[in-house]
Amino acid sequence: MVGLVLVSHSAKLAEGVAELATQMAGPDVRIGAAGGLDEPDGTLGTDATKVLGAIEDVWSADGVLVLMDLGSAVLSAELAVDLLDEDRRGRVLLTEAPLVEGAVAAAVAAGIGERLEVVAAAAHGGLTAKAAHLAPAAGAAEVDAAAAPAPGGSTDHETQPETLRVTVLNRLGLHARPAALLVRAASGFDADVTVADATSGCGPVSARSLNGVATLGARRGDDLVVTATGPQATEALAAIARLAEERFGEPEDLGPQEPEPAQAERVDGRAASSASDAPVPGPGTVLAGVPASPGAAVGPARRLGRGAVQIPDAPTGEPAAEWAALSAALEATAADVLRARASLAGRARARDAAIFDAHLLFLEDEALLAPTRTGVFDRGESAALAWRAAVAAAAQAWDALEDPYQRARAADLRSVGDQVLGHLLGEGPAISTAGPGVLIAPDLSPAQVVGLDRFAIAGVACAYGGPTSHAAILARALGLPAVVGAGAELLAVAEGTLLAVDGDAGTVTVEPAPDAVAAVDRRRQARDSEAAEARAAAGRPAVTRDGEIVRGEANVAGPGEAEAAVVAGADGVGLLRTEFLFLAAAAMPDEDEQAAAYGAVAAALQGRPLTIRTLDAGADKPLPYLPMPSEANPCLGVRGLRLGLARPEQLLCQLRAVLRVAAAHPVRVMFPMVATVDELRRARELVDEARAALATRGVAVPARLEVGIMVEVPSAALVAAKLAPLVDFFSVGTNDLTQYTLAAERGNAGVAALADPLHPAVLQLIDRTAQAAAAAGRGIGVCGEVAGDCLAVPLLLGLGVRELSMNPVVIPAVKQAVRATDAAAARRLAGEALAAESAAAVRELLAAAVPSGPATRRRAGD
């Protein structure tokens, strides 16, 4: 870690700055204070030998950065470097950075393990954020809070600043979201607007800067003085006055106990509160969410970050090109944020989704852009280096806030900054954490879950999302205990706080008591030994007591999982979610790339059959290289096969790749989201076209390719008898079928209890499909999450299902459940379930039928 030396004429000043920087960056950073002369009377001055001693005290092979105050401090520091051993001299940098801001910025950068050059850049940028904040106020008259006239009190707006005094009424002060509204309002007028907190004496800052306004740290009751100059100064102040009266869009005394609108109701009946108003949950608090992936885990709370990225030493292009790259990265990040906002908007309250407004403002904040511009154009740095230093410097201002909630928003800024870096460096979404523990996040994209380090992450807790969201499915695939829909309070938990995640009960306990931690450990051990028994038998076929063979297959997202599936005892892959293969790609993979990827999965299966589902993008599975126009109801929009038919070239390309692999391996193809017979006919035509195109090129194709469809839209189940002659098999996608049958969005924690695949309405659709399949002599399987639920196994077998495709981790247990089932008894059970009136009644029937069966999972709300 880079060491720091602070050279000042005053020993007290050097020590004081060292103390401040240590508080900001943590005790691990090595900071040497070399202030004053070695005189008993405390004479002011600087001493080269003292500086030399300090450099040696904090020495590390990573180097040392020296910050100085003025005059002889610079000379003493230079002399000290001259006195150093030659081999060390090259690793010491003297910086002209301001002593206080520079030391704090440098300490933070050193603390996160940055290189010497990056630490120096951070120090250098320490002052620019402050300068950017203050610059717009330069032309304004001194803020005289006491004498501030009411808005409209001045008429000469060209020269005279107008001022307004408002009191912050928001319970949690002017935190990120209300501050974002103020910034939006101020930016809408042709006026230079500044804000100062007259109560605390902080500011003024530019009202166009979210970093500036929010890091004023204004609390409830504080008086703000808003000053405006320019043609629309009066209008700007009037708009801000209105906003302040309306508590910047927050209801009066919004508190955690206050009942929220219906949309916010969670399955446990408690009201969710937004991240922006959530208090930090105290020790022992149990946050109730929805079980998403079984198991229990304990560990410190961790947030996603980008970890140590390789920032190029030198810019790759001219400053203008660097700036253009940054602009493109900012735009791409804004698009990500808008997508996340749109996706959350359907699942949470508008206020929760508005958290993302603050993220958007970060992307256009001059407090970040100005220092980045200086770095790129004046210092010739790469855009990535300059941007990272600007974000680090701005985040320190948030870190320094007194209020713990407001302080925690530094994480938001860092995460947005990270997203920009990700685009700038051409990397995927942030997937690393600062250390091992329990990952907490608002929600996770499939790409983020797939990229998680299974050994570092013990469990996952999301504030939003439902148990069939793709994040939850992937968590199960990775065997990661997970809870979703735990509410916004989760996001207020500080990094490092001990959390216990119970993926069976769907709870997250904050700072659990030692006995609760021990209980989690015991459960983990018991589960491990049960699982070991099932694994020992997993390689054998699953045959019911009365001799019916049931295929236990795997849902996978790539060759690695296919290998794991074989180890878990899979009889094949019933669902390859091809969209996950290329989640991190910047462009649609071409035919060769796809053929290679599918070929790798087929090879990993060592001769077992592979069902490749064509791209099922859209709705909750956005692909970076397939930007979709925004839709009011994406789940009902252009997704799955609809998207493939709308872009036939892409589907044809995928079908050619599938056919090429099918020439050498037992492969079949499956179309997602089929709603009508016409769609299926058109898709079959495309299979023929793809075959013909390959034949023309002289590429080998299989004599016959089995074609199937996912039954996940109720219309498909209802016309299954018409579809059956056109397919070789049906695979029921109960995740979507449940969503569409019960009109309960699968990622929405608020309707998670409703979205139960064991509802008789869903079962009747499966039954109808199974009957159509049987009449036409076609195969039928289930590949939705319910196929991996041991409790449901007898019921599905009773309905006629003979292929169960699931997350590989549950294959051993499900095969055991098949072995415990009598097919004839299961048929009677299915008949009773079809006649039941609710999912709860079906579950009671099943529980009674399998009183001491293998581990069963119940869902919240049952």
**Shortest Cβ 766–ligand PEP spacing (Å):** 11
Cα angle at 507 between 503 and 508, to 5 degrees? Answer: 100
> Given candidates 125, 784, 800, 808, which one binds ligand PEP under the rule CB under 6 A?
784
Nearer to Mg ion, 119 or 674 (CB): 674
215, interface contact from ligand PEP, Mg ion, none, CB < 5-8 Å by kind: none
**Shortest Cβ 577–ligand PEP spacing (Å):** 5
> Which amino acid appears at position 647 of this protein?
R
783, interface contact from ligand PEP, Mg ion, none, CB < 5-8 Å by kind: ligand PEP
**Shortest Cβ 757–ligand PEP spacing (Å):** 8
Interacting stretch for ligand PEP, rule CB under 6 A, among 38-46, 183-191, 690-698, 734-742?
A: 734-742
**Shortest Cβ 583–ligand PEP spacing (Å):** 13
C-alpha to C-alpha distance for 7 and 11, rounded to whole angstroms? 9
H-assigned helices in 584-702: 591-604, 641-646, 648-662, 677-696
> 260: which 2 tokens?
């929220």
Enumerate the β-bridge partners of residue 433: 304
**Shortest Cβ 693–ligand PEP spacing (Å):** 28
**Shortest Cβ 616–ligand PEP spacing (Å):** 6
| Distance (Å) of CA 664 to CA 600, 610, 670 | 12, 12, 18
C-alpha to C-alpha distance for 549 and 818, rounded to whole angstroms? 9
Interacting stretch for ligand PEP, rule CB under 6 A, among 176-184, 477-485, 727-735, 806-814?
A: 727-735
**Shortest Cβ 632–Mg ion spacing (Å):** 20
Nearer to Mg ion, 136 or 733 (CB): 733
Closest of 37, 33, 44 to residue 103, by C-alpha: 33
Nearer to ligand PEP, 286 or 635 (CB): 635
Enumerate the β-bridge partners of residue 499: 299, 510
Q: Is the dihedral of CA 262, 266, 272, 275 positive or negative?
A: negative
* Cis amide prior to 725 (ω within 30 degrees): no
Could you tell me how many residues of this chain bind ligand PEP (CB under 6 A)? 10
| C-alpha count within 13 angstroms, C-beta hemisphere, residue 628 | 26
How many CB atoms lie under 10 A from the CB of residue 287?
Answer: 25
**Shortest Cβ 712–Mg ion spacing (Å):** 5
> Given candidates 322, 412, 616, 767, which one binds ligand PEP under the rule CB under 6 A?
616
Catalytic residue among 9, 175, 423, 470: 470
C-alpha to C-alpha distance for 657 and 595, rounded to whole angstroms? 4
C-alpha to C-alpha distance for 163 and 145, rounded to whole angstroms? 8
Interacting stretch for ligand PEP, rule CB under 6 A, among 373-381, 647-655, 733-741, 811-819?
A: 733-741
Q: Going edge to edge, which strands form the sheet with 498-502?
A: 286-288, 507-510, 498-502, 296-302, 437-441, 457-462, 482-484, 290-293
The end-to-end CA distance of the chain, in Å, is: 53
Extract the runs of DSSP E, i.e. beta strands, from 412-541.
432-433, 437-441, 457-462, 482-484, 498-502, 507-510
**Is 783 an active-site residue?**
yes
Please give the backbone phi and psi of residue 374, each rounded to the nearest 5 degrees, phi first: -60, -45
C-alpha to C-alpha distance for 862 and 843, rounded to whole angstroms? 8
563, interface contact from Mg ion, ligand PEP, none, CB < 5-8 Å by kind: none
**Is 202 an active-site residue?**
no
Run of H or E residues at 204? strand 202-206
**Shortest Cβ 785–ligand PEP spacing (Å):** 7
Residues 568-597 that bind ligand PEP (CB under 6 A): 575, 577
Closest of 192, 190, 71, 61 to residue 136, by C-alpha: 192
Q: Which residue has the tokens 């699953």?
A: 542
**Residues near Mg ion, by CB under 5 A:** 712, 733, 736
Binding mask 679-718 for ligand PEP (x = CB under 6 A): ---------------------------------x------
Do residues 424 and 402 touch, judged by C-beta distance below 8 A?
no
Nearer to ligand PEP, 334 or 450 (CB): 450
> 499: which 2 tokens?
């959390």
734, interface contact from ligand PEP, Mg ion, none, CB < 5-8 Å by kind: ligand PEP
Catalytic residue among 124, 133, 462, 783: 783
> Given candidates 128, 406, 578, 735, which one binds ligand PEP under the rule CB under 6 A?
735
Interacting stretch for ligand PEP, rule CB under 6 A, among 38-46, 127-135, 631-639, 731-739?
A: 731-739
**Shortest Cβ 842–ligand PEP spacing (Å):** 18
Q: Does 734 bind ligand PEP (CB under 6 A)?
A: yes
Residues 425-444 that bind ligand PEP (CB under 6 A): none
577, interface contact from ligand PEP, Mg ion, none, CB < 5-8 Å by kind: ligand PEP
C-alpha to C-alpha distance for 166 and 221, rounded to whole angstroms? 9
Q: Does 783 bind ligand PEP (CB under 6 A)?
A: yes
The 8-class DSSP code of residue 61 comes to T
Interacting stretch for ligand PEP, rule CB under 6 A, among 299-307, 388-396, 450-458, 730-738?
A: 730-738
608, interface contact from ligand PEP, Mg ion, none, CB < 5-8 Å by kind: none
Nearer to Mg ion, 733 or 798 (CB): 733
Residues 272-301 that bind ligand PEP (CB under 6 A): none
679, interface contact from ligand PEP, Mg ion, none, CB < 5-8 Å by kind: none
Residues 362-391 that bind ligand PEP (CB under 6 A): none
Run of H or E residues at 764? helix 760-776
741, interface contact from ligand PEP, Mg ion, none, CB < 5-8 Å by kind: none
Q: Which residue has the tokens 């002889």?
A: 72
Residue positions counted in the chain: 862
Nearer to ligand PEP, 733 or 794 (CB): 733
Nearer to ligand PEP, 32 or 574 (CB): 574
Interacting stretch for ligand PEP, rule CB under 6 A, among 446-454, 534-542, 679-687, 732-740?
A: 732-740
C-alpha to C-alpha distance for 848 and 571, rounded to whole angstroms? 30
Closest of 501, 498, 527 to residue 514, by C-alpha: 498
Nearer to Mg ion, 353 or 673 (CB): 673
Nearer to ligand PEP, 566 or 783 (CB): 783
784, interface contact from Mg ion, ligand PEP, none, CB < 5-8 Å by kind: ligand PEP
> 831: which 2 tokens?
């008949």
Nearer to ligand PEP, 123 or 576 (CB): 576
Nearer to ligand PEP, 370 or 556 (CB): 556
Q: Does 422 bind ligand PEP (CB under 6 A)?
A: no
> 705: which 2 tokens?
């390719």
Q: Does 469 bind ligand PEP (CB under 6 A)?
A: no
**Shortest Cβ 784–ligand PEP spacing (Å):** 3
Give exposure, 786-818, as e/b (b: 16+ Cβ within 10 Å).
Answer: bbbbbbbbbbbbbbbbbbbbbbbbbbbbbbbbb
Nearer to ligand PEP, 65 or 612 (CB): 612
178, interface contact from ligand PEP, Mg ion, none, CB < 5-8 Å by kind: none
Please give the backbone phi and psi of residue 715, each rounded to the nearest 5 degrees, phi first: -60, -35
| Distance (Å) of CA 728 to CA 305, 487, 662, 712, 804 | 46, 44, 15, 17, 16
> Given candidates 733, 747, 808, 853, which one binds ligand PEP under the rule CB under 6 A?
733
> 709: which 2 tokens?
């469809």
**Shortest Cβ 775–Mg ion spacing (Å):** 25
CA dihedral in degrees (835, 836, 842, 846; nearest 10)? -50
Give exposure, 849-861, as e/b (b: 16+ Cβ within 10 Å).
Answer: bbeebbbbbebbb
> Which amino acid appears at position 546 of this protein?
D
Interface positions with ligand PEP (CB under 6 A): 575, 577, 616, 712, 733-736, 783-784
Name the residues annotated as catalytic.
470, 783
